[in-house]
Amino acid sequence: MIIKDKDFNLIKIYDLICYYFDELRYYCERFSNNNSPCFTDQEVMTIYLFGVQYQEYTKINQIHKFACDYLSDWFPNLGSYQAFCNRLNRLAGAFTRLSELLLEDTQPNDCIIDQCLLDSMPIITCSGKRKGKVANEVTNKGYCSTKGVYYYGMKLHMLGIRRQDALPFPEQVLFTPASVNDIVVYKERWSEMRNRTFFGDKIYMHNEFNQQVKNQYNSEMLTPIKAIKGMPLIIKQRIKAADDLYNRAVSKIRQPIEAMFSWLIEKTDIQRASKVRSTKGLMVHAFGKLTATFLNYVLNP
């Protein structure tokens, strides 16, 4: 058995999944005689999300063992660990769609709609010293400047709406192969948003393009100032105080999205995907753990 508070949270997660499942069913539909299993897809998703969100388990075998030990009264038809993994992989599309629905329906009231924070972080399937062999259709080799390492995997890109004295609300989350540059994602997906002020790191500094966006869409990209190679020392010293003040201001506004990533990593260990063995498994790892964290906006507004 589990304590009553967690008992109630388990019911809330199951109820939420059932509420959305009229749409989610189309992302995991079966075309076989076994299209109505005794152990339902709603139950599989409930166990996984409860294990990540409330038990803080980061591995599927831990979640399955916990369910066998403590949730057997709730889920008497829970099968073997291998069967549970197979069922999870079938639900990769459902987790993806559920994460989108949660973001669409749960935007907090304190969001500052016209101010957005941009950043990315790696999802690592293996070290760059080795040859990546998992999910090659959605992963490749990239470089993480924060860690100073090459790696195989994906990259998580987040567009977060700024909130005062709180973590940003993820308006959009995208996954790309690791080699895709952050500025490319911004140009292709977010630069056409109107009347926005974007706060990013130095990778988003592209003066000519940013000026074009400002003229055409009235949106501005603010980043820390890069040092210009070859600038005379006397000019550097003259403008240093102003540049440092501006950089500190931009970095202070951007800090919450970095805290958001730290919280995601601490809560779900989403950054480490070395145990994943298939493309569907990688999608469950990425979107399943994102969905578990997004439940906070629904269950703990």
Q: Are 169 and 297 in contact (CB under 8 A)?
A: yes
Nearest in space to 187 (alpha carbons), one of 221, 238, 144: 221
Other residues' Cβ atoms within 10 Å of the Cβ of residue 145: 9
Q: Give the pTM.
A: 0.90
Q: What is the pLDDT of residues 42-97, one digit of tens each?
A: 999 999 999 999 899 999 999 999 999 999 999 999 989 999 999 999 999 999 99
Q: Are 28 and 41 in contact (CB under 8 A)?
A: yes
Q: What is the pLDDT of residues 238-254, one digit of tens each?
A: 677 778 888 899 999 99
Give the pLDDT score at 227: 65
> Which of 3-7, 49-53, 114-118 is least confident?
3-7
Q: Are 183 and 177 in contact (CB under 8 A)?
A: no
Q: Under DSSP, is residue 163 helix (H, G, I), strand (E, B) or coil?
A: strand
Give the pLDDT score at 1: 45
Structure tokens at 259: 């805290």
Residue 4 binned pLDDT confidence (cut-offs 50, 70, 90): low
Pairing of strands 149-163, 169-177: antiparallel
Question: What value does the mean pLDDT of the chain take?
Answer: 89
